Amino acid sequence: MSSQQKWNLVSYDVRDPKRLRRVAKLLEGYGERVQYSLFRVRATTERLEKLRWELSELMAIEDDLLVIPLCDRCATKVDDHSRGDRSDWGDPPPSFEIF
């Protein structure tokens, strides 16, 4: 298993308000909220597996979870409409100006 940290987007749809609060609270301990039900998490493979296990203990079968791994370059391309400071996501790719 790799000890290198990688970016992940974690999205969820939890149907019960009580479970929803518990899932959001857990994710706040692992990453940063980007949108209402979307978090960015920088984690090792082992830490991400632990997060998935903890979420499986909180979530019910009717709830949904989506974890999307991102490369560093893709992490810089997250839409500017997202909330929060993304300055630590890495340098943006070079841009070109056409005249």
- Residue 64 annotated in ligand binding: no
Q: In what order do the strands lie in the sheet with 6-13?
A: 32-35, 38-43, 6-13, 64-70
Annotated binding-site ranges? 13
Annotated binding-site ranges for Mg(2+)? 13
